Amino acid sequence: MNAKLKTTPFEVADYLDSAEAIAIYLEDAFETEDSAYIAHALGTVARAKGMSEVARKTGLSRESLYKALSTEGNPEFATILKVMSALDLKITARAG
């Protein structure tokens, strides 16, 4: 028998269903120090929470948010701050 394995794409946004899960996910993203990955992770959280609602709260279009928060995006820091605020998230600093 030559059975074929069927797979489905993994969507991390489906598992970001609590404040704790979101915090752990973003903390891991920030630890990479990879700005593109951090922006992408923030976009994943925005999708988990509802991109339309995030767009409404930031005053930005959904399309511009999807573009800015993709791995190819390069969002301005002001955009990151608006998205963080819309998601009720705070950036904190701590000595390493």
* Domains of the chain, residue spans: 12-86
**Cα 29–Cα 51–Cα 28 angle in degrees, nearest 5:** 10
Please tell me the distance from the alpha carbon of residue 34 to that of residue 9, in angstroms, as a whole number. Answer: 23
Residue type at 93? A
Global pTM value: 0.86
Is the pLDDT score of 96 beyond 80?
Answer: no
**Cα 82–Cα 52–Cα 43 angle in degrees, nearest 5:** 55
Please tell me the distance from the alpha carbon of residue 39 to that of residue 88, in angstroms, as a whole number. Answer: 16
Residues 52-91 pLDDT 10s: 999 999 999 999 999 999 989 899 999 999 999 999 999 8
Is the pLDDT score of 1 beyond 70?
Answer: no
